[in-house]
Amino acid sequence: MNKNSNSRPIGIFDSGVGGLTVLNALKKQLPFENMIYVGDTARVPYGNKSEKLIQQYAREICDLLISLDCKMIVIACNTASSLALTYLRSSYALPIEGVIEPGVEEAIKHSRNKHIGVLGTHATIRSNVYESKLKKLNPDLMVTNQACPLFVPLAEEGWVDGEIPEKIAKYYLNPLVKNKVDTVILGCTHYPILKATITNILPKNVHLIDSAEVVAQKVKQILAQNKFATESKTEGHLECLVTDMPNQFSLVADRFVDFAIGEIKAIELH
Ligand code: DGL
């Protein structure tokens, strides 16, 4: 590794605005790191696509991030983490972190009645990654899985509260309420954008797991272990790239992060 390698950026990607919830946590915990965020807005949603296609999309984005000299990659997307993490790790040498395991560990820590709800896209729920990882750590757990595909377009539109999102959320959350889960994993990085609406519908004792903070802690550890955390003490540079409609992305993005995103550039993936 050359002398300046620690100033190389961290690459982060999602199908759209959802991964900004992870980017926000990363910026807070690692303010001096340079970062490149890719939102694949031309092909969102990933959650209704096949494993093969999700792996192809994820590979194209990783190729781009590596060509931009990233030192590690964070898959800020549960769907791509569920279906492509193993594949990507076997294809590339740089560290790649997903969002599933940190969320699983947090949920197990918080649940008292050992009944956990998992919300995710169709692809994430179909992969059964959450349930199998949860049960591997504790075989006695009860898990209620629920796909919530309509949450993704609502988040992309920035339509996060009011009658329509509430009705949709009630419909999706009903089985979790009936089964008396005490902990709910927001197993899609778009869902924290609808956190207030989801919280209002669930009973007060239910704990919501948004893995963004724990993912950011994990990334910090990985940088330290590999000795490639930046030595810089000035705010890191963020480059935000999307595959379509940068203006629409910008309108929604600015509402959901605590920093100025700046210019958003359109790119093409191959
Ligand atoms: N935000 C992503 C996830 O965490 C993808 C949602 C989608 O594109 O369907 O699963």
DSSP per residue, 214-247: HHHHHHHHHHHHTT------SPPPEEEEESS-HH
Q: Is the CB of 81 under 6 A from ligand 1?
A: no
Retrieve residue 83's tokens: 């279906």
Please state, in angstroms and as integers, the Cα–Cα distance from residue 11 to each residue in 31, 34, 66, 75, 145, following that order. Answer: 14, 9, 8, 8, 30
Q: Is the pLDDT of residue 1 over 60?
A: no
In contact, 160 and 200? CB cutoff 8 Å: no
Task: Choose one of 53, 77, 146 to mutate for the ligand 1 pocket test, by most ligand atoms within 8 angstroms of C-beta.
Answer: 77
Q: What is the pLDDT of residues 204-236, one digit of tens each?
A: 999 999 999 999 999 999 999 999 999 999 999
| CA 256 to mean position of chain CA atoms | 14
Split at pLDDT 50, 70, 90, the class of 255 is: confident
| Distance of alpha carbon 78 from alpha carbon 253, whole angstroms | 19
Top CATH class of 100-211 equals: alpha beta
Q: What angle do CA 188, 194, 199 make, to 5 degrees?
A: 105
Q: Where in the chain is the domain with CATH 3.40.50.1860?
A: 10-98+213-266, 100-211
For residue 206, give the DSSP letter. Answer: P
In contact, 145 and 121? CB cutoff 8 Å: no
Helical pair 20-29 and 246-256, crossing angle rounded to 10 deg = 50
Please state, in angstroms and as integers, the Cα–Cα distance from residue 47 to each residue in 95, 96, 238, following that order. Answer: 24, 20, 26
Q: Is the CB of 77 under 6 A from ligand 1?
A: yes
| Distance of alpha carbon 270 from alpha carbon 264, whole angstroms | 19
Ligand 1 atom showing the smallest separation from residue 19 Cα: 1
Q: Is the pLDDT of residue 5 over 80?
A: no
Provide the pairing of β-strand 207-209 with 264-266.
Answer: unpaired
Q: Is the CB of 121 under 6 A from ligand 1?
A: yes
Active-site residue list: 77, 188
In contact, 255 and 159? CB cutoff 8 Å: no
Split at pLDDT 50, 70, 90, the class of 36 is: very high
Task: Choose one of 14, 48, 130 to mutate for the ligand 1 pocket test, by most ligand atoms within 8 angstroms of C-beta.
Answer: 14
- Calculate mean pLDDT across residues 188-206: 96
Say what the pLDDT of residue 4 is: 60
For domain 10-98+213-266, give the CATH number: 3.40.50.1860
Q: Is the CB of 21 under 6 A from ligand 1?
A: no
Q: Is the CB of 98 under 6 A from ligand 1?
A: no
The alpha carbon of 55 and the centre of ligand 1 are apart by a number of angstroms equal to: 13
- Calculate mean pLDDT across residues 11-37: 97
In contact, 11 and 70? CB cutoff 8 Å: yes
| R_g of the chain, CA atoms, integer Å | 18
Task: Choose one of 75, 79, 122, 215 to mutate for the ligand 1 pocket test, by most ligand atoms within 8 angstroms of C-beta.
Answer: 79
Task: Count the helix, strand and coil residues of the chain and give each as a percent rounded to the nearest 5.
Answer: 50, 15, 35
Q: Is the pLDDT of residue 157 over 70?
A: yes
Q: Is the pLDDT of residue 2 over 70?
A: no
